[in-house]
């Protein structure tokens, strides 16, 4: 069997495809797998690092800017769309896949569109509550649309073949033992974990820096691990030191560039403070960790706010829009949750009710059913 995956642009698009590809390889030892991504995207690094081959095509995003710059960018994007679909057809004919799966990113649309035109079974996985432009345009052309949120059905054209399968969640996220994690991290009080993504978010990191100042004035209330992201780590430690806070002496506060051991840290966490990316929220839900979500306002279709709103509606999260954020508000919301064990337990149960823990397996099963038909 031959499987082709089209993805790229962000980890939220790449990691789900990698999770499914790994399961395919586990269940079908002889399966041939290839990825297609956009030239210059992070998929060129992440996919080979995971042990899979990748081919690239030249693809461009649709601009949502108004005015001349937006029009010029979209003319360029449309020009590249035609050439990208042509190049995708060539790759598909050469590899001759039995099925093509897309999980989002610039390369996803031209590859799935080309595969559908060639009569090859196709599936697109939509991780966000509000389906993106590519998913909406592909919905009537692909064989099946796979959804993370039940509410997404209402936002697709009628008579589209779709199934709710959840989002792939790493197995180690589910399996790490909480008590072991807390012992290994040296956590003896409630633990807050905060992060804004691999690059960080400058304004939100500024708010966390001020929040850490407030925490230092009230030491010992809770533990706090914060990941600054790549750019945040260049300035945030110095900024905090200039506030008169010696981080080395703050036994309850840990500043990291990245959380490389996320399965362990999530297992130990009592509250998470994060953005509203679908992958992050799926992992938080799978662990049942109450969340304070500050959605990024700088994403297409404001999809992070819509993702976060679904968790809040279920009773598992608190949503604060970035425009309403202050360091004091972040501190007070965190302290309220961390001091109320009953509230946290109820939020955890609400998250568990809606979490899909076997998303990877469900996606695999859907693909196999489509190929067998």
pTM score of the predicted model: 0.85
- Better pLDDT: 82 or 219: 219
Query: What are 14-40's pLDDT values in tens digits?
Result: 989 999 999 999 999 999 999 999 888
275: pLDDT confidence band, cut at 50, 70 and 90? Answer: very high
- Which residue's entry shows tokens 């938080």? 284
Query: pLDDT value at position 250?
Result: 87
In angstroms, the first-to-last Cα distance of the chain is 14
For the chain, give the percent of residues with pLDDT over 70: 93
Contact of 174 with 198, CB cutoff 8 Å: no
Query: What are 287-311's pLDDT values in tens digits?
Result: 999 999 999 998 878 899 999 999 9
Q: Which of 21, 8, 38 lies closest to 103 in space, CA to CA?
A: 8
Residue 74, pLDDT > 50, answer no
Query: What are 128-147's pLDDT values in tens digits?
Result: 999 988 899 899 999 999 99
111 SS3 class: helix
Buried-exposed string 180-215: b where 16+ CB fall within 10 A, e elsewhere: ebbeebebeebbbbbbbbeebbeebbbbbbbbbbeb
Sheet with 191-195: strands ordered across: 253-256, 223-227, 191-195, 271-274, 291-293, 317-319
- Angle at CA 144, nearest 5°, toward 351 and 87? 115
Please give the C-alpha separations between residue 128 and each of 87, 167, 311, 314, in angstroms, as whole numbers: 28, 9, 12, 16
Helix boundaries (H) for the chain: 11-27, 43-49, 67-95, 108-117, 133-138, 171-175, 178-185, 202-217, 229-232, 236-242, 262-268, 278-287, 303-313, 327-338, 341-354, 359-372
């Amino acid at each position: 069997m031959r499987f082709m995956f089209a993805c790229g642009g962000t980890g939220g698009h790449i990691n789900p495809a990698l999770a499914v590809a790994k399961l395919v390889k586990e269940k079908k030892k002889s399966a041939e797998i290839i990825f297609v991504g956009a030239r210059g995207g992070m998929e060129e690094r992440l996919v080979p690092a995971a042990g899979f081959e990748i081919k690239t095509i030249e693809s461009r995003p649709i601009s949502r800017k108004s005015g001349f710059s937006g029009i010029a960018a979209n003319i360029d994007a449309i020009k590249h769309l035609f050439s990208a679909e042509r190049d995708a057809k060539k790759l598909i004919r050469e590899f001759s896949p039995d099925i093509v799966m897309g999980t989002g990113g610039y390369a996803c649309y031209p590859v799935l569109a080309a595969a559908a035109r060639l009569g090859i079974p196709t599936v697109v996985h939509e991780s966000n509550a509000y389906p993106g432009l590519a998913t909406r345009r592909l919905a009537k052309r692909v064989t099946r649309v796979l959804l993370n949120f039940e509410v997404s059905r209402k936002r697709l054209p009628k008579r589209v073949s779709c199934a709710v399968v959840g989002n792939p969640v790493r197995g180690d996220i589910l399996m790490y033992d909480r008590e072991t994690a807390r012992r290994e991290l040296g956590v003896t009080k409630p633990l807050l974990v905060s992060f804004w993504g691999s690059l960080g978010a400058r304004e939100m990191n500024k708010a966390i820096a001020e929040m850490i100042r407030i925490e230092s004035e009230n030491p010992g209330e809770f533990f706090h691990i914060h990941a600054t992201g790549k750019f945040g780590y260049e300035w945030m430690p110095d900024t905090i030191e200039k506030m008169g806070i010696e981080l080395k002496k703050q036994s309850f506060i840990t500043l990291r560039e990245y959380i490389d051991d996320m399965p362990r840290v999530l297992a130990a966490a009592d509250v998470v403070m994060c953005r509203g990316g679908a992958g992050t929220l799926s992992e938080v839900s799978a662990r049942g960790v109450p969340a304070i979500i500050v959605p990024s306002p700088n994403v297409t279709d404001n999809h992070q706010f819509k993702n976060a709103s679904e968790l809040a509606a279920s009773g598992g999260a608190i949503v604060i829009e970035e425009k309403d954020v202050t360091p004091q508000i972040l501190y007070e919301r965190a302290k309220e949750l961390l001091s109320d064990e009953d509230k946290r337990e109820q939020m955890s149960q609400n998250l568990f009710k809606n979490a899909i823990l076997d998303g990877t397996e469900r996606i695999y099963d859907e693909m196999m059913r489509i190929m067998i038909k």
